[in-house]
Amino acid sequence: MASTRSNILDTIGNTSIVQLHNVVPSNGVRILLKIESSNPTGSMKDRMALAMITAAENDGRLKPGGDVVEYTGGSTGVSLALVCSVKKHPLHVVTSDAFSKEKLDHMRLLGAKLTVIPSDNGKQTEKLTKYMIREAHALAKRTGAYITAQMDNTDQISAYTKLADEIYEQTEGRIDVFVQSVGSGAALRGISERLRQRDNRIRFVAVEPAESAVLSGGPSGSHNIDGIGAGYVVPLWHDGIADEFQGVSTTEARAMAFRLAREEGLFCGLSTGANVTAALRVAERLNPGSTVVAIMCDSGMKYMTGFSQHLEPL
């Protein structure tokens, strides 16, 4: 019988991994999806939010009851709002109307204060990302708050080391390729470093918006895949993290998210749609019996307003 948890933060992590049966390649290669939507806020970012806040508390950068500031497209902000609510840290988030209304509302409901930066017609761009970052740093300096600064914060790597260990143990080490979309870069960096320690034959594929494929040398552009594609090479990224890059368009990511819901019962966001699109492309090139692992980053419940605009009328 499961023991009682001391609080909601103790339920973060140890998520399930499932095999896809309908959204699969033609050659029998196995695709596994780590279901991070079962974390408390429905996102893998719960892991890194807890790691960043706990590390800052432990070394004194964040005092008891101290204020926290972050810039975020949504999921990190929601996750920080959860952690800060439990740990009693007031949170101020700099975000934008480019990101889903559900995420902004979720942050507010968990007690966060929001500064919402207007976007260019709801598009995510390098200019918007860097403006949000500047505003958050200025706010932290002005108020004396601790800024978690996810784009630079290496405290979160430990959360992804644990995630990598879970994946390796759940697959019993049967992984040929790991696929993950890139936002701050911390997830793929932390997971790849750990999995390479356990098996250096595993290959790693970085997924980015086709409209803004800067990591693979393309031009910066605008897109609508929440949480990834900052529009520039982010500070936590370095050469060698990925063996291959896959660009997936917003349209392709959305189509795959809808397909996963209808064919696998997995209701996810667009970053997951991008992950699975890339995973299928890679899987088609592998030998039968190989295994590709990707992450279901979050729940589609975070995107209902945007999704409803693309559903066929009743």
**Is residue 139 in a domain?**
yes
Please give the helix or strand (H or E) that residue 275 lies within, else none.
helix 270-283
314 pLDDT more than 50: no
pLDDT at 227: 86
Mean pLDDT of 254-263: 97
Over range 21-48, report the average pLDDT.
Answer: 97
Say whether both 168 and 290 belong to one domain: yes
Mean pLDDT of 57-80: 95
Last residue of a domain, which of 80, 113, 147? Answer: 147
Query: Residue 286's domain is classified under what CATH number?
Result: 3.40.50.1100
Look at strands 17-19 and 30-35 and give their pairing: antiparallel
**203: closest CA among 176, 180, 185, 181?**
176
Q: Any idea which of 44-53, 115-124, 203-212 has the lowest mean pLDDT?
A: 115-124
Specify whether the CB–CB gap between 254 and 272 falls below 8 A: no
pLDDT in tens, 131-174: 999 999 999 999 999 999 999 999 999 999 999 999 999 999 99
For residue 217, what are its two tokens?
Answer: 């040398």
Question: In this structure, are 52 and 29 located in the same domain?
Answer: no
Same domain, 81 and 96: yes
User: With bands split at pLDDT 50, 70 and 90, how would you rate the model's confidence at 308?
Assistant: confident
Report the share of the chain in percent with pLDDT over 70.
98
- Cα 56 to the chain's mean position, in Å? 21
Work out whether strand 30-35 and strand 68-71 pair parallel, antiparallel, or are unpaired.
Answer: unpaired
Average pLDDT over residues 231-255: 97
**Whether residues 169 and 139 fall in one domain:** no
- Per-residue confidence at 234, pLDDT binned at 50, 70, 90? very high
* Residue 2 pLDDT level (bands cut at 50, 70, 90): low
Query: CA–CA separation, 191 vs 176, rounded Å?
Result: 14
Q: Please state the domain count of the chain.
A: 2
End of a domain among 147, 182, 213?
147
Say how far apart CA 286 and CA 25 lie, in whole Å: 10
CB 221 within 8 A of CB 120: no
Considering the domain architecture, whether residues 58 and 99 belong to the same structural domain is answered as: yes
Domain span at residue 76?
Answer: 45-147
pLDDT of residue 218: 96
Q: Please report, for residues 35, 59, 137, the alpha-carbon distance to residue 275 in angstroms, rounded to integers and kept in the order given.
A: 13, 35, 31
d(CA 23, CA 41): 26
The arithmetic mean of pLDDT across residues 54-68, rounded, is: 98
Q: Which long-range contacts (CB under 8 A, 24 or more apart) does 24-29 make?
A: 24/280, 24/283, 25/280, 25/283, 25/284, 26/284, 27/283, 27/284, 27/286, 27/287, 27/288, 28/288, 28/289, 29/283, 29/284, 29/286, 29/287, 29/288, 29/289, 29/290, 29/291, 29/292
Condensed to tens digits (0 to 9), the pLDDT of residues 170-182 reads 999 999 999 999 9
- What gap in Å lies between CA 78 and CA 45, rounded to an integer? 8
Tell me what the pLDDT averaged over the chain comes to. Answer: 95
Residue 273 pLDDT: 98
Q: In which order are the strands placed within the sheet that holds 68-71?
A: 113-117, 91-96, 68-71, 146-147
Instruction: Tell me what pLDDT residue 176 has.
Output: 98
**1 pLDDT above the threshold of 70:** no
**Which pLDDT value is given to residue 166?**
98
Task: Look at residue 309 in the predicted model and tell me its pLDDT.
Answer: 84
- The CA distance from 267 to 271, in Å, is 12
Last residue of a domain, one of 147, 175, 197: 147
Same domain, 31 and 173: yes
| pLDDT average, residue stretch 189-208 | 98
Do 129 and 226 belong together in one domain? no
pLDDT digits (tens, 9 = 90+) for 273-296: 999 999 999 999 999 999 999 999
For residue 300, tell me if it sits in a domain.
yes
In-domain check, residue 77: yes
Determine the Cα–Cα distance for residues 284 and 64; give it in Å rounded to an integer.
52
Gap between the terminal Cα atoms of the chain? 45
pLDDT at 313: 60
- Token duo for residue 5: 């948890």
180 Cβ neighbours under 8 A, 6+ residues apart: 187, 188, 191, 204, 205, 206, 207, 275, 294, 295
**Same structural domain, 128 and 178:** no
